Amino acid sequence: MKVTLKDGSVKEYDKSMSVYDIALDLSEGLARAACAGEIDGEVVDIRTVVDKDCQLNILTMKDEKALPVLRHTASHVMAQAVKRLYPGVKLAIGPSISDGFYYDMEFETPLTSDDFGKIEAEMKKIIKENLEIVRFTKPRAEAIAFMQEKGEPYKVELIQDLPEDSEISFYQQGEFVDLCAGPHLKSTKDVGKAFKIMSLAGAYWRGDEHNKMLTRLYATAFPKKEELEAYITMMEEAKKRDHRKLGKELGLFMMHEAGPGFPFFLPKGMVLKNTLLDYWREIHKKAGYVEVSTPVILNRSLWETSGHWDHYKNNMYTTVIDEEDYAIKPMNCPGGVLVYASEPRSYRDLPIRMGELGLVHRHEKSGQLHGLMRVRCFTQDDAHIFMTPDQIKDEIKGVVALINETYSLFGFQYHVELSTRPDDSMGSDEDWEMATDALRNALDELELPYVVNEGDGAFYGPKIDFHLVDCIGRTWQCGTIQLDFQLPQRFELEYVGADGEKHRPIMIHRVVFGSIERFIGILIEHYAGAFPTWLAPVQVRVLPISEKYMGYAKEVEKKLNDAGVRVELDERSEKIGYKIREAQTARIPYMLVVGQKEEEDGAVAVRSRAAGDEGAKALDDFIAGILKEIETKENRQAQQK
C-alpha cells in the first residue's frame, strides 16, 4: 500500500493502518498533534483505516480543515454536559457549522441564557477529565434497540431512515454515547479552553413546522483563546451593525405582521435602493447589456418546461386564473428565454446580454426569515447571456470583470467557489462535464483562485459563486455565474449559424448584487449605516444656528437641491449642538451650519461625518466639491476614518 504524503514523499506499508498509526510512524510529535486525516481530499476520522493507495494529509489544529472536527467534538461535550445537568433531555442533532456548532435538544423545562454559565462549567469538567473518545458500530436493528433503551426517540428516527443493511457508528466518551458519523478528536481534553455558548433559539425537528419545537443551543470553539476573543469582538460589532436595528433607526425599511418576509421600503430606503439600481443600469449599459422586464405571473406549463415545477415547486407561490394553474415567478430566467425566442436570431446577434431587475417571490419558512437577508420577495438583478459555444470563455471573463468592478467600489474583498452538479439535476453527463470544464477553464485563465464546492450547483447547471468579505470579516454569497445547457434545449432555442444551419445557443445566468434587498442589508452592516456620500439617502443637512437665519438656510437648501444634492433642512427650534449630534446619529455625510457670518459671506461652516469641523467654505465651492465626490463615487468618509 503506497501512501503519498502532503510533501510529495511516498511511504509504503505492507498492511492496513489507521491514520493515527501512520502519523505515529512519521513522528511522535505529529501523532500527538494529529486530530484528523484527509484522504484523497476528504476529511476523515483519525481512527479511519487506510487500506489502499492514496494521498494522505495528517491534519492538526494548524489546518483550517480540522476546525469542524474540533467543533463537532465540542458539540458532543456540550451535549454531555447538558445530559449531566438535565438528565431528562432528549438529543436530536449537533453538527458543526461555518462559525461554530449547535445542538438541537428537547428540554422538559425551558432553558434560558442564565443557564449558559452552568453548562460551560460542566463542559470544562468534562474536558479536564480527558475522556478517551471511542468509535464503535452496530447493525441497524441493534442500533435502534440501543437508542430506544437510552430513551432517545430522535436518534431512533434518524436510524430508521437509513437502509436496512447499514452499519451505524457511535462515539462514546465516558458515560456519554451519541449516534454520529464523525470525525472526532481523540479525547475530550483536545477540545481545549477556547469555547463559548453564544445563544439559543427554537428549531423545528427536521426543519418542519409540523414537528415539535426543539431548543437549539448555539456555541463556538477555536484552537486558541485569542481566536475566540477576536470572534466574540466581531460578533459584538455585528450586533451594533445589525441592519434590522439600523434600518429602523435610519428610516430605511420596515417589516409588518401583515406580510411576514415581505419588506416595506420607506422614503429614505427607496432613495438608497434607487441609487443602487441607477448604478446597476449605468455599469450594465457600458458593458453592452439591454434591459427587459418580464411578467411576475406565468402559467404552469412554462414552469414545467423550465423544470422549476418539478425541482422547485415547494418554494413557489401558485394561483389559479381562468381555471388554469399559474405560478408567481421565483426566478426571472424563463421569462428571459421567452424574450429570446420571440424573434429569429442569427450568430451575428450573439452574444445577447439581457438584464432584468425582476421582482421574484419564494416561499421561505417563517423560522428562516431574517430582516432583509432572508425574505419572501426581492428584486433580483438578473442577466441572461445567450451565446455561441466559442463565446463562453470571453463572456464569463466579462461577467467576472463586472462583478470585480462592483465589489471593489464598495470596498469588498471576495473569494470564489466553483459549485458542481447536485443530486437533483437535469441533463446529460456530457453537458454537465462540458459546462463545468468551461467555468473551470475561464477561472484558470483569469488566474482567479477558487475552491470546488461539490454538488452545490443549480439543478440546470454548474456555477461560480462569489463570496464577498465585509469590513468585520464576515462572508456573504452574492454574485453568481451559472452556465446552462438545459433551458435552451428545453425551450428549443435556436440561432442561424454562419453555415446557414440552425444551432442551439448556450445560456449564462448571472447576478451581481444577487438580491437588491439582501445587498442593501449587507451594505447597512458593512458601513454601519454610514454610507458613502454618493449612496447616502441624505447627503447634506443644513443647520441654522437660530430662527433668525432660517431664510438664508432655505436659500442654501434650495441651491443644493437645484444642483442635485440630496439635502434636508433642520427647522426645529433646538440648540445647534443638539442638531449636530442628531445629524451625526443619522450618519449624514455633511452638516452645514449657517449663522450671521456665513450669511454675510455667502458661505457655510462645514462639518463632515468623519473629520468633524472642516471650517468655512464658500457655498459654491462646497457644492462643486460634493458634486465631484458624488460623480466619482469617492468614499472620502471611509478614507478619513
CATH code of the domain covering residue 557: 3.40.50.800
Same structural domain for residues 632 and 558?
A: yes
Domain, as residue range, for 10:
2-60
How does pLDDT run across 401-422, given as a tens digit for each residue? 999 999 999 999 999 999 898 8
**Cell numbers found for residue 629:** 465626490
Query: How many domains does one find in the chain?
Result: 4
Q: Before 344, cis peptide (omega within 30)?
A: no
411-454-162 Cα angle (round to 5) = 130
The per-residue pLDDT for range 495-547, each reduced to its tens digit, is 999 999 999 999 999 999 999 999 999 999 999 999 999 999 999 999 999 99
Same-domain status, 195 and 170: yes
Pick the residue with more confidence: 313 or 536? 536
Residue-level pLDDT at 232: 93
Alpha carbon distance 18, 33 (integer Å)? 15
> What residues does 354 pair with on adjacent strands?
290, 384
> What CATH number does residue 265 fall under?
3.30.930.10
pLDDT of residue 641: 40
Residues 53 and 75 in one domain: no
Q: Are 318 and 326 in contact (CB under 8 A)?
A: yes
Q: What is the pLDDT of residue 617?
A: 96
Which CATH number goes with the domain that contains 184? 3.30.980.10
Same domain, 160 and 191: yes
Q: Is 25 exposed, middle or buried (0-12, 13-18, 19+ CB in 10 A)?
A: middle
Last residue of a domain, one of 36, 60, 84: 60
Q: What is the mean pLDDT of residues 549-565?
A: 96
508 and 580 together in one domain: no
Q: What distances in angstroms separate CA 11 from CA 25, 38, 618, one per listed residue?
A: 10, 16, 77
Of 85, 212, 90, which is closest to residue 152 (Cα–Cα)? 90
pLDDT band at 637 (very low <50, low <70, confident <90, very high): low
pLDDT reported for residue 584? 95
Distance separating alpha carbons of residues 379 and 442, to the nearest angstrom: 28
Q: What is the mean pLDDT of residues 547-576?
A: 95
Q: Are residues 600 and 572 in the same domain?
A: yes
- Residue 107 near residue 83, CB atoms below 8 Å: no
Whether residue 427 has pLDDT greater than 80: no
Identify whether 305 is part of a domain: no
Is residue 15 domain-resident? yes
Q: What is the pLDDT of residues 71-117, one digit of tens each?
A: 999 999 999 999 999 999 999 999 999 889 999 999 988 899 999 99
Distance CA 340, CA 494 (A): 9
Residue 290, pLDDT > 50, answer yes
Beta strands in 409-545 (DSSP E): 413-419, 450-453, 463-469, 475-484, 495-496, 502-503, 506-515, 540-544
Asked if residue 30 belongs to a domain, the reply is yes
Cα distance between residue 293 and residue 340, in whole Å? 12
For the segment 186-210, the average pLDDT, to the nearest whole number, is 91
**pLDDT tens digits, 620-633:** 999 999 999 999 99
The answer to whether residues 236 and 268 belong to one domain is no
Q: Is-above-0.75 flag for pTM?
A: yes
Cell numbers that stand for 52 in this block = 489502499
Alpha helices in 150-242 (DSSP H): 153-160, 225-240
Residues annotated as catalytic are 333, 362, 380, 382, 384, 463, 509
Residue 22 lies in a domain: yes
Residue 158, domain member (yes or no): yes
Chain length of the chain: 641
pLDDT of residue 403: 94
**Is the domain of 54 the same as that of 109?**
no
Last residue of a domain, one of 60, 91, 106: 60
Q: Is 315 a domain residue? A: no
Instruction: Provide the 10 A C-beta neighbour count for residue 514.
Output: 21
- Whether the CB-CB separation of 219 and 75 falls below 8 Å is answered with yes
Looking at the fold, whether 360 and 414 belong to one and the same domain comes out as yes
Q: What is the mean pLDDT of residues 250-269?
A: 96
Is 606 found in the same domain as 475? Answer: no
Quickly state the pLDDT bin for 578 (edges 50, 70, 90).
very high
**Domain match, 387 and 413 both:** yes
- In this structure, what CATH number is given to the domain that contains residue 9? 3.10.20.30
Give the pLDDT confidence score for residue 475 in this predicted structure: 86
Is 271 among the domain residues?
yes
Is the pLDDT at 639 greater than 50? The verdict is no
For 328-349, write each residue's pLDDT tens digit.
999 999 999 999 999 999 999 9
Is residue 426 over pLDDT 80? no
The pLDDT of residue 640? 39
Return the pLDDT at 557. Answer: 97
Answer whether residue 180 is part of any domain.
Answer: yes
**One domain for residues 589 and 623:** yes
The highest-confidence range among 423-432, 443-452, 523-532, by mean pLDDT, is 523-532
Among 527, 562, 583, give the residue marking a domain's end. Answer: 527
Instruction: Give the number of other Cβ atoms within 10 Å of residue 192's Cβ.
Output: 18
